[in-house]
Structure 1
Amino acid sequence: MLQKWAFTFVLFLSVLSASAQFRKIPAVVTDAFKAKYATATGVEWKDRLTAFEANFKVGEKDMKASFTSKGEWLKTESNFTYNSLPLEVKDGFKKSKYADLTVTGVMQVEEKEKGVLYKIAVKKNEYSKRNLVFSKTGQLISDNGTII
């Protein structure tokens, strides 16, 4: 019984430390962030081991940006509403086989390598959900389904 308790305690500490900040955010990273998002407020940093992630607001929009340890910008995600999507993306969604599903979330993702993409989370029911990724021209690029 004592061994089981000790194992559980060690596991708990491991999980706790996994979400802790491991490294100090390098100045080159914070400087790159400030240069790209000069009007950002409420900035909170997280160390994701492979990148540093800033959660922040620009105006009323919640955003998240990732940078390498050398200050190189990787991507930015921003919450969107369905109504604020470009017409081409809404049209692409309406023409897709998923148009009858309920939209549960929308996000714009700007990536260094891929440019601007739009993620639309949809669900058929509580157990069947999909994450759809559209190009800015409305083309469905990927469709990742999850069953909970």
Structure 2
Amino acid sequence: MKNIFFVALAIVCSSATISAQSKAPKEVETAFYSKFPKATKIKWDKESTTEYEASFTENNVKHSANFSIKGEWLETESPTTFALLPEKVQNSFNTAHKGVKVKAVAKIENSSGETLYEIEVKKGLKNVEYFYNQEGKIVK
């Protein structure tokens, strides 16, 4: 009987956690809809105690955007292709990673006006992400 109680308690706790993370505070949602009025298929995740992330579709493209708990926009990540990266980023990556197959590429715009480019590759069993600024310099 004790085991059934603990299993039921675990299910209730995990359900509460999932539903708690699926909704952002009102000020975060308001800021999101103000910045992305055409967004659809919105899914919220709590990134940390101070940040929420919305995964959404806009113009048939999947994006993600992060907001502080006060509703301040922090960054937006959008998929792109290697061919659309600035030439300096392509050259820098190709020089440092000859023959490496690119798995995914994203453009990241943040609230300080900076644009970064994320290039994800597979190294062995792990996915590795490299971040470049517009000048092709590796950051992070």
Question: Normalization by structure 2: what TM-score?
Answer: 0.77
Give, in angstroms, the shift of residue 11 of structure 1.
5.5
Give, in angstroms, the shift of residue 22 of structure 1.
5.1
Percent identity (aligned) = 28
- Which residue of structure 1 lines up, in the alignment, with residue 17 of structure 2? 18
Give, in angstroms, the shift of residue 81 of structure 1.
1.9
Question: Aligned partners of 2:65, 2:51: CA distance in 1, in Å?
Answer: 10
- Which residue of structure 1 lines up, in the alignment, with residue 62 of structure 2? 62
Q: How many residues align?
A: 139
Give, in angstroms, the shift of residue 69 of structure 1.
2.0
- Which residue of structure 1 lines up, in the alignment, with residue 135 of structure 2? 137
Give, in angstroms, the shift of residue 73 of structure 1.
0.7
Give, in angstroms, the shift of residue 139 of structure 1.
1.0
Question: Normalization by structure 1: what TM-score?
Answer: 0.74
- Letter matched to residue 114 of structure 2: G
Within-5 A mapping of 1:1-148: 14-21=13-20, 25-48=24-47, 49-96=49-96, 98-113=97-112, 115-125=114-124, 127-142=125-140
Q: Which runs of 5+ in 2 are unaligned?
A: none
Return closer, same or farther for 1:8/1:62 CA change in 2, 3 Å cut-off.
same
Question: Aligned partners of 2:25, 2:129: CA distance in 1, in Å?
Answer: 33
Question: Aligned partners of 2:81, 2:5: CA distance in 1, in Å?
Answer: 47
Give, in angstroms, the shift of residue 79 of structure 1.
1.7
Q: Which runs of 5+ in 1 are unaligned?
A: 143-148
Whether the 8 Å contact between 1:43 and 1:55 is mirrored in structure 2 is yes
Q: Which has the larger share of helix?
A: 2
- Which residue of structure 2 lines up, in the alignment, with residue 146 of structure 1? none
* Cα distance per residue 1:71-101 (max 9 Å; x no partner): 11111111222222222211221122x2321
Give, in angstroms, the shift of residue 21 of structure 1.
2.0
What stretches of structure 1 move > 6 A for 4+ residues in a row?
A: 2-9
Question: Aligned partners of 1:74, 1:9: CA distance in 2, in Å?
Answer: 38
Question: Aligned partners of 1:56, 1:23: CA distance in 2, in Å?
Answer: 13
